[in-house]
Structure 1
Amino acid sequence: MKVVTWLRRIWDRYAPARRLMVIDGDTLPTVLPTRDLVLTRDDGDDWSVGMRCPCGCGERIELMVLEEAHTRWDITIDDAGRPTLHPSVWRKSGCRSHFWMRRGRIHWCD
């Protein structure tokens, strides 16, 4: 494992947990926060969750959470405001990262 990858995984384990920001509308902002997730909500319906790839490549990840979406994720928020995503996130192109988001923490799949 590369030293940079190892350091990033240590940071993911001990850094403050990621939080969820909720914005009005059905599209993600052009610029996403470095660590936190953004949930788009329009008329009370959750549409998508956006985040920057936690591997460090900085690519934009958008996950649909709308009930009618064919490929979709479920998001839950605990009392401390930490998001959990289900199922895992697996990028099929680019960096090919594969991870789980549990209580605001990244858990890498090897």
Structure 2
Amino acid sequence: MLPPRRITIVEADTPPLRLPWRNLVLAREGNEDWAVAFRCPCGCGTRLELMVLQEVKPNWSISIEQGGRPTLSPSIWLKSGCKSHFWLRNGKVIWI
């Protein structure tokens, strides 16, 4: 079994172009979180970038659990490509 995914926080308003293979990157400018980016957990390698600003639609909420393990809400559902649908809870992918 693989270890839980973790999050790295970068000081920027957008995530970097280069992403780690499993973990997530949160773009934070000052005290404001902007977006979280990561690669699709199905293995296809698709870059996923989710807005966490409340003013933007659609948006996701993110919480960071002990040890840097992220939880995202709502679920992530890709309508094209691999069509993955999953939750990310406490660093673990839960497939739907």
* TM bucket normalised to smaller: over 0.9
- 1:25-104 matches, within 5 Å, as 25-104=12-91
**More helix as a share of residues:** 1
Deviations, residues 1-55 of structure 1 (Å, cap 9, x unaligned) = xxxxxxxxxxxxx211000000011111111100000000012100000000010
Unaligned runs of 5+ in 1: 1-13
Per the TM alignment, residue 79 of structure 1 is displaced from its structure 2 partner at its CA by 1.7
Q: Does the alignment pair 1:24 with 2:14?
A: no
Query: C-alpha separation between the residues in 2 aligned to 1:83 and 1:60?
Result: 17
Aligned-partner SS, 2:20: coil
| Greater C-alpha radius of gyration | 1
- Superposition RMSD on alpha carbons, in Å? 0.7
* Higher percent of residues as strand: 2
Shift of 1:80: 2.1
| Structure 2: tracts of 5 or more residues without a match | none
Question: What TM-score do the two structures reach when normalised by structure 1?
Answer: 0.85
* 3-state SS in 1 of match to 2:68: coil
4+ runs deviating over 3 angstroms: none
